[in-house]
Amino acid sequence: MAHTGAFPRPAVALITMKHVFLILLSACAAAVTQAAEDRIYRCGNEYTNTVTEAQAKSCKLISGGNVTVVQSVKPPVVVRPASPQPQPQAARVDAADQRARDSDARWILEQELKKAELRQQELLREYNGGEPEKLGPETRNYQKYLDRVGELRAAIARNDADIAGIRRELGRSAASNTPIGTR
Looking from the CA of 34 toward its CB, the CA atoms found within 13 Å total 6
Assess if residue 108 is contained within a domain: yes
Q: Name the β-bridge partners of 42.
A: 47, 60
What pLDDT, in 10s, does the model give residues 140-165?
Answer: 999 999 999 999 999 999 999 999 99
19 phi, psi to nearest 5 deg = -65, -45
Query: Which residues have C-beta within 8 Å of that of residue 48, sequence separation ≥ 6?
Result: 40, 41, 54, 59
Q: What is the model's pTM?
A: 0.47
Domain hosting 105: range is 95-182
Assess if residue 84 is contained within a domain: no
Per-residue b or e along 42-72, where b marks 16 or more CB atoms closer than 10 Å to that residue's CB: eeeeeebeeeeebeeeebeeeeeeeeeeeee
**Helix, coil or strand: residue 96:** helix
Assess if residue 104 is contained within a domain: yes
Rounded CA-CA distance 130/144 in Å is 15
Assess if residue 147 is contained within a domain: yes
- Per-residue pLDDT in tens (0 to 9) along the chain, 183 residues: 555 656 666 555 556 777 777 787 777 666 655 555 567 888 888 888 888 888 888 888 887 666 676 777 877 887 776 666 666 666 788 889 999 999 999 999 999 999 999 999 999 999 999 899 998 888 899 999 999 999 999 999 999 999 999 999 999 887 776 655 454
Assess if residue 145 is contained within a domain: yes
Domains: count for the chain: 1
